[in-house]
Structure 1
């Protein structure tokens, strides 16, 4: 815990003596929104790679039944290059495997980011606009009963 406070203090800058260990509401919101944006970017990249993997699968399925000496064309850096099926098919399969590995890596990172976001939300009692009223009230009552409400100040509302 002490190391987290020191990290927060270095991020907070030179605001005030006692407030360095507890970031302001604006800093909490900005950090939370940055973390959410990072997660959205990862999800967007994962969707893009998933589409690319599907395209590779479609082309591989089409080419595997074709004569290996048949001409085919491949787009390389915006230039259409003439090759044969036996040259292109192994490269496509290798690319598809690499894309799958990257997708797994991104998926793992997204799960880690999701856990990190959840922990951050719980630590600073962040409620998103549009969350159910019953859920918001139950978190407030549990925070008040634990005495955690006074430590983190008022809950932060993020739109």
Structure 2
């Protein structure tokens, strides 16, 4: 069965709705990216703070809303692992965002979509 995109040309409203959906998805990715970058930075800060400390020193860690007492030796590897995972997640989100931006730009060029700012700038000339 063929997709609707190949059966008939898209209406103007369908083209705009698709473009708006792409913009919305990009906004969502940007919000996620910002959130995880902040979390990654917090983990890096904790890691920098804990590294010079005595490995047997007490350290407290928030686990599921509960503050748990551990040692620096126990907490530091977990913090490093979480930061590494966040690094990978941030990189993946950046790649997804780049892909979505290219897709939206191609869609915009294909259907000659102009934003209100572009229309206003063209009218000022």
Change (3 A) 1:7 1:123: farther
| Structure 2, unpaired ranges of 5+ | none
Matched, 1:118 2:114: no
Match of 2:3 among 4, 7, 11: 7
Residue aligned with 1:104, SS? helix
Q: Secondary structure at the match of 1:62?
A: helix
Match of 1:97 among 74, 84, 87: 84
Bigger helix fraction: 2
Task: For residue 75 of structure 1, report the CA deviation from its aligned partner.
Answer: 0.5
Which contiguous aligned blocks of 4+ residues in structure 1 show a shift greater than 2 angstroms? 6-10
Residue 68 (1) aligns with residue 55 (2): yes
Partner of 1:133: 122
Provide the rounded CA distance (Å) in 1 between the counterparts of 2:5 and 2:51.
Answer: 59
* Pairing partner for 2:44 from 57, 65, 80: 57
Query: Structure 1: how far apart are the matches of 2:3 and 2:23?
Result: 20
The TM-score, its normalising length taken from structure 1, stands at: 0.72
CA RMSD of aligned residues (A): 1.6
Determine which structure has greater relative contact order: mean sequence separation of CA pairs < 8 Å that are 6+ residues apart, divided by chain length: 2
Q: C-alpha separation between the residues in 1 aligned to 2:44 and 2:93?
A: 20
> Which residue of structure 2 aligns with residue 29 of structure 1?
16
Segments of 5+ residues of structure 1 without an aligned counterpart are 1-5, 11-19, 138-159
**What is the distance in 2 between the residues matched to 1:24 and 1:79?**
54
C-alpha displacement of 1:25: 1.2
